[in-house]
């Protein structure tokens, strides 16, 4: 076995391993003074490494999603499931994935859920602010299932259903396309549903000021009125500090209608989800009035629990604080 202090030789002159490698590379490529180029390459690597990490960390979420899909396929194979299956069959798989995501939320973000008592025992429509990714909603769903044994369906953008390999994950978790009739039917059956009216546009174009971008969308309000259920506002503190989008490049979405833009961050900032007081059903309210009321309730949660403008360093430091802004 060769010791760490031994050297290799090239001709009569003994050399260290690094010098030896440089020598052979020079001989192979024919480039003189290749050690200068290597030193420059090492320097660039050292300088660019933090930048590379910032853009690579968000891929952890993608890895977790596909790990979840892989676990579902293993679960399906282990139980020799063929084509038809019931919701009860997947209860064990849902709890397994909830444990996986809740563990990630606890370890990486010190995730906390506040105000879960505001969620009614019966049906309800949760309306939340959409960060650059929906990771905070996944943490919420996992924690709710673990603590309250309550499952929450979510309405997703159409492009999510075109993501490769996601079909099983979406089917198992009852993710919905969002037709009003389907949502109303599910609510009348007693389901809990979550929706971010801002959707992908809010995810891409909102910023550290946490601007609510709903446009003229009020279909969710009509769903709540037709189903005669309360609306529950929800907001996650520091959600835009964990992962951010490159604002200028986000304009690609408005041109090509593609929700694919570079993300950066993945920082272990403190995340706290706050559930506001329910907005009860009123028989005589219009969709426009209920939309305005819901937006005001969500804005109040943002102003109460988020320091504006958002700051990544401050959000990181909040991991070491025991008190939140206001509870």
Which residues are the active-site residues?
Answer: 130
Helix (H) or strand (E) holding 23: helix 17-29
Nearest to 275 by CA among 241, 305, 249: 305
The string of DSSP letters for 51-73 reads: HHHHHHTTHHHHHHHHHHHHHHH
Q: What is the dihedral of CA 323, 198, 134, 262, to 10 degrees?
A: -110
Residue in the structure block whose two tokens are 């979406």: 170
Strand pairing category for 272-275 and 231-237:
antiparallel
Give the phi and the psi of residue 68 in degrees, each rounded to 5. Answer: -60, -40
Q: What residues pair up with 125 in beta bridges, in sequence order?
A: 193, 231
Cα separation, 273 vs 239, in Å, equals: 9
Contact at 8 Å (CB) between 202 and 239?
Answer: no
DSSP character at residue 263? E
CA angle (123, 297, 117) in 5-degree steps: 45
Cis amide bond preceding 309, omega within 30: yes
Contact at 8 Å (CB) between 185 and 226?
Answer: no
Cα separation, 314 vs 302, in Å, equals: 16
**Paired tokens of 259:** 């929700």
């Amino acid at each position: 076995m060769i010791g760490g202090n031994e050297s290799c030789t090239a001709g009569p002159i003994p050399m260290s391993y690094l010098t030896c490698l440089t020598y052979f590379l020079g001989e192979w490529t024919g480039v003189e003074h290749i050690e200068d180029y290597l030193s420059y390459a090492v320097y660039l690597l050292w300088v660019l490494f933090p930048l590379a990490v910032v853009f690579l960390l968000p891929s952890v979420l993608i890895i977790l999603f596909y790990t979840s899909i892989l676990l579902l396929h293993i679960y399906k194979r282990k139980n020799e499931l063929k084509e038809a299956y019931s919701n009860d069959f997947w209860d064990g798989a849902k709890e397994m994935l909830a444990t996986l995501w809740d563990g990630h939320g606890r370890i990486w973000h010190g995730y906390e859920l506040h105000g879960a008592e505001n969620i009614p025992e019966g049906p309800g429509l949760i309306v939340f602010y959409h960060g650059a990714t929906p990771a905070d909603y996944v943490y919420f769903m996992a924690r709710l299932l673990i603590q309250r044994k309550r499952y929450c369906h979510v309405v997703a953008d159409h492009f999510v259903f075109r993501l490769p390999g996601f079909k099983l994950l979406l089917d198992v978790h009852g993710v919905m396309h969002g037709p009003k009739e389907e949502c109303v039917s599910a609510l009348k059956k007693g389901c809990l549903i979550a929706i971010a009216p801002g959707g992908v546009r809010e995810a891409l174009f909102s910023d550290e000021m946490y601007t609510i971008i709903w446009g003229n969308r009020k279909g969710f309000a009509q769903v709540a009125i037709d189903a005669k259920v309360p609306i529950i506002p929800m907001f996650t503190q520091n959600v835009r500090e964990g992962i951010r989008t490159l604002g200028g490049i986000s304009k690609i979405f408005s041109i090509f209608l593609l929700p694919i833009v570079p993300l950066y961050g993945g920082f272990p900032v403190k995340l706290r989800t706050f559930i506001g007081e329910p907005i009860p059903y009123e028989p005589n309210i219009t969709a426009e009035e209920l939309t305005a009321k819901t937006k005001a309730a969500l804005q109040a949660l943002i102003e109460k629990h988020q320091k504006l403008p958002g700051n990544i360093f401050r959000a990181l430091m909040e991991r070491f604080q025991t008190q939140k802004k206001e509870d």
